Amino acid sequence: MDHLQDPRAVIVAMHHCATRDLLGLMDGFYSNLEDGLFELSFRTRSEDKHRQYFDLMRQMRHSKSRLITLFIDQLQTSMRDWFDDENPAMSQAGERQARILAQKSAAHYQGILTQLAERSNFATGRDVNATELPISPLKVAYHFLCSCRELKFDEHGIEVVQELFGRFVLERLGSVYGQCQQDLKKAGYMTLLEQALLEQKAEEQD
């Protein structure tokens, strides 16, 4: 392990890689979007809902480039949140909706997110919990919802696409978090357990 690596350089590089991987997941989201909307449309007998799903399909296709750009820009801007205690607050309504959307993913990845938080805290000297990480499911969901609202999607459309976003992005974040874990561990930033074991070993050697 190299304990002398600059934490800012390591975390910035890690965040860039995570953003790149999330861009890949967004491509997967769009690749599965139409099939997902067809599936939802197939479940209903309402002609109005059929029409809404197909209208949404056209809107999502038309807005693809802009939506992805907005989402990635927000993720890139959030890079400063690894280091800055004065982070912009999430809107109350947006945070509530994002928490509901991210709930399943946050529970599934709780273990590795906790380790990521401990390693990043070791690197930066801060005390940030797993939920507050700039790449946590909550933050990723919030950035997506904000991007949809900036494009003036109606609330029904957002509710529909967020279900698919949860399925094809939030529930597939394991590889993103795994790579972040490797990057921080390789740089020498430890979890609380690793720090405790190291201290115990040092005491035994004294």
Of residues 86 and 29, which shows the higher confidence score?
29
pLDDT tens digits, one per residue of 99-131: 999 999 999 999 999 999 999 999 999 999 999
Q: Is the pTM of this model over 0.85?
A: yes
pLDDT tens digits, one per residue of 38-63: 888 888 777 777 788 888 889 999 99
- Return the pLDDT at 158: 93
Neighbours of 63 (CB within 10 A): 16
SS3 97: helix
> Comparing C-alpha atoms, which of 196, 175, 13 is closest to residue 122?
196
- Centroid of chain to Cα 70: 14
When the pLDDT of each residue in the chain is averaged and rounded to a whole number, the result is 91
> What is the rounded average pLDDT of the residues 151-161?
91
Residue carrying structure tokens 């769009």: 30
**Which of the four pLDDT bands, split at 50, 70 and 90, describes residue 1?**
very low
Within a 13 Å sphere around the CA of 142, how many CA atoms are in the beta-carbon half? 23
**Burial readout 163-189 (b: 16 or more C-beta within 10 A, e: otherwise):** ebbbebbbebbeebbeebbebbbebbb
| Predicted confidence (pLDDT) at residue 182 exceeds the cutoff of 90 | yes
Q: Which helix (H) or strand (E) holds 2?
A: none
